[in-house]
Structure 1
């Protein structure tokens, strides 16, 4: 659906050295999936998503959407192909002096949609985003979440195959963010629209994404299925993002003291293993005591995922047997050591 092959983007300035925003980035987004790109500020993720519809023209590399090479297109052909790529932004980009209806209808008119079809499309997609009763309101009468729903309806009204989301929930409170994410999930499932979203929030990734790429300094440093990255992150930046969901800042002196009596371990529960009382069973089956030091269980789109830090107290033979049992139950285990 979307292929970015060795994309680089260099911004040239008169007074300073060139700025490399993207460096040989390659990415493939499959039809019908929700793909997330996460990174800290300045990582290059917004530049990357703007290269997909050539709002930013890459310095080098190839952009292929629906099998079409966008780099080689004339302005007219590119304009036509952009109709298949909807986009929503953090700042909503609504016309303040136009009603909700007109904020959706005017772009349709400019795109050449038949006049008699415009009201039907506006009504349809306002219904989809839950704002059918707001079409005569102005943006200053809406909440932030409602404004973003209007922006989503506007993007959907062109009936695109792809939806790009550039930090679309960053300006919203947590409850409204979750509501918008649920709406994006609904759009993906009901219309089969492929979604590429940019975010700096791990919560967004875990809630709706199938796959994710982590960016740093204009490069993709790690990518894969969300559950795989949560289970076995390789890069330190990825680990920091995951750590924000599963913090375990246990002081070294406590770790040192506990480790004298038995191992301090990190336990990762994926899918069905997250629903098993494996840790509590260990105390009953073996001559050990368990103590949970920190942890959390979250929902990764359609699979539960949990991570706990626990201390298992007992002699080495008993603790080794306990750890072997946990592994047999599908729990991923690593030892936590003094840093």
Structure 2
């Protein structure tokens, strides 16, 4: 559905050459939700704007539904963009226009007749749950309602792809959850493929099938959401996980506990989440697990459990117990101070 091949974007500034995106390869399958996460300045916004050529790549190719759009002329590109909707952090609503007109005006500009415009406005306001706000103005809406209007406007052109540029970062946590629920509904019920960028790990957690971690213009790690939550490799990925997973312990505490055993992070996924494996370890190997932190993360396509323990006992018994846990499908990581 969306393929980026060796895409780079370079800006020439007064201070010199800036490589915002560096040789990125990305493949979003039809009907999936993919997320790009990174800190401010990582190149996320530039990358997503390369997908619909709001920013034309310096090098590389962009394919939509198998067609290379980087080689299209302006007329054909404009036609292709009709199938790509986009929502932004800032909503971009006309302040002096009603909710109805904010959705209707773009439809009129592409030549739809009055009846079709009315039908689409009604249909997509109903989908986003704002039918009763049709005659309201943006100043009369909450932040979440404004974003719903922006989503309805993007959907009204009936795209196959929806791009989301930090669409929830200006919203409070409860409103963010409601918008993410809406995006999931859109993906499932309308079959729309979604590519989003974010710096919020809870966004990735809730709706993404596949994740790209971006740093200094590069994709430094990628994989299914479950893979990244259970087996993060890069330090940037681990830092993002620490924001939601209660994974981080102070080095001083780890050093203190290491004198009487090992400090371990255990990651449970799939069937292992429902088994009393720590109780089994305690009975079989004469070790004493002390739970320091624990949580369960519900992802779009599975559940991941994280437990940080202090495991006391003879070193041989500890090694045997860790081997037992690994054989049961538990991820084991020894933490250092």
Deviations 1:29-57 (A, max 9, x none): 11110000011001111001011111111
Distance, in Å, in 2 between the alignment partners of 1:89 and 1:242 is 24
In structure 2, what is the equivalent of residue 102 of structure 1? 101
In structure 2, the residue matched to 1:61 is 60
- Is the CA contact (8 Å cut-off) linking 1:165 and 1:196 kept in structure 2? yes
Whether the aligned pair in 1 keeps the contact of 2:209 and 2:301 (CA below 8 Å) is no
The 8 Å contact of residues 6 and 25 in structure 1, kept in 2 or not, is answered as yes
RMSD: 1.4
Q: Work out whether residues 241 and 247 of structure 2, in 8 Å CA contact, stay in contact via their aligned partners in 1.
A: no
Q: How does 1:216-295 map to 2 (within 5 A)?
A: 216-295=215-294
Alignment match, 1:190: 189
Between the aligned partners of 1:40 and 1:176, the Cα distance in structure 2 is 22
Deviation of 1:230 (Å): 1.6
**Partner Cα separation in structure 1 for residue 79 and residue 51 of structure 2:** 14
Task: Summarize deviations over 1:86-139 as a string: whole Å, max 9, x none.
Answer: 000000000111110111011011112232211111111111000011101111
Q: Report what 2:130 is aligned to.
A: 131
The answer on whether the counterparts of 2:186 and 2:192 sit within 8 Å (CA) in structure 1 is yes
TM-score if structure 1 supplies the norm length?
0.95
Is 1:6 paired with 2:11?
Answer: no
Query: Map of 1:83-122 to 2, 5 A cutoff?
Result: 83-122=82-121
Which segment drifts farther, 298-307 or 97-106?
298-307
| Number of corresponding residues | 337
Deviation larger for 230-239 or 82-91: 230-239
Deviation larger for 2-11 or 161-170: 2-11
Gaps of 5+ in 2: none
SS in 2 for 1:279: helix
- 1:163 is paired with a residue of what secondary structure? strand
Distance 2:229 2:62 in 1: 29
**CA deviation profile, 1:262-300 (whole Å, cap 9, x unmatched):** 221110011222222322343344422211112321111
Residues 37, 213 of structure 2: 8 Å contact kept: yes
Partner of 1:213: 212
For residue 168 of structure 1, report the CA deviation from its aligned partner: 0.1
- 5+ residue gaps, structure 1, are none
Tell me, in whole angstroms, the C-alpha distance in 2 between the residues paired with 1:30 and 1:130: 28
Secondary structure of the residue aligned to 1:116 is: helix
**CA distance change for structure 1 residues 52 and 92 in 2, over 3 Å: closer, same or farther?**
same
Q: Secondary structure at the match of 2:108?
A: helix
1:71-86 map, 5 Å: 71-86=70-85
Greater mean alpha carbon deviation, residues 161-170 or residues 265-274: 265-274
**How far apart, in 2, do the equivalents of 1:160 and 1:212 lie?**
22
Residue in 1 that maps onto 2:200: 201
Counterpart-to-counterpart distance in 2, 1:190 and 1:240: 34
Q: Which runs of 4+ in 1 moved over 4 A?
A: none
57-66 vs 326-335, which moves further: 326-335
Task: Please identify, of 168-177 and 275-284, the stretch whose mean Cα deviation from structure 2 is larger.
Answer: 275-284
Alpha-carbon distance in 2 for matches of 1:91, 1:280: 51
